[in-house]
Homo-oligomer: A and B are copies of this chain.
Amino acid sequence: MDPTLQNLNYDSNGLIPAIVQDHQTGQVLMMAWMNRDSLAKTVETRKTHFFSRSRNKLWLKGESSGHVQHVKSIATDCDQDVLLVKVEQIGAACHEGYESCFFREHPGGITTKLIEEEAIS
């Protein structure tokens, strides 16, 4: 693995936030957590794998839904404590059926609108 990806600043639980972005549209799809193993698995398979804090286990995104994410590139930030993963998303990124998990937008924090009218299947 790229040496820079071996020198990441994981938090006290051994986790690092991974922002997932559509490589073509630039839409931010979701944020989830990775540990060393899930990052290695992501690099190896070119499909995103995360670490579930609630289930305390590694998971392949799209394992049951088929909505996998094909990895195009991985960037690290200046402090090496956040990942930005650009992907080709198959189906919907959000488990609620939306294209992106960020489907609630608050313009100015005053009013809320639903960005996507209907969840896609």
On A, residues with C-beta under 8 Å from B are: 1-5, 17, 19, 21, 25-28, 30-31, 42-43, 46, 71-79, 82, 84, 94-96, 98, 101-112, 115
**Are the CB atoms of A17 and B31 closer together than 8 Å?**
yes
Q: Which residues of B contact A104 (CB under 8 A)?
A: 4, 75-77
> Known: A77-B101, A78-B103. Contact between A108 and B71, CB under 8 A?
yes
Q: Which residues of B contact A106 (CB under 8 A)?
A: 2, 4-5, 73-76
**Are the CB atoms of A111 and B25 closer together than 8 Å?**
no
Residue among B1, B2, B31 making CB contact with A82, cutoff 8 Å: B31
**Are the CB atoms of A101 and B74 closer together than 8 Å?**
no
Some 15 contacts from A to B, beta carbons below 8 A apart, are: A1-B109, A2-B106, A2-B109, A4-B104, A4-B106, A4-B112, A28-B28, A74-B109, A75-B102, A75-B104, A75-B105, A75-B115, A77-B102, A78-B95, A78-B98
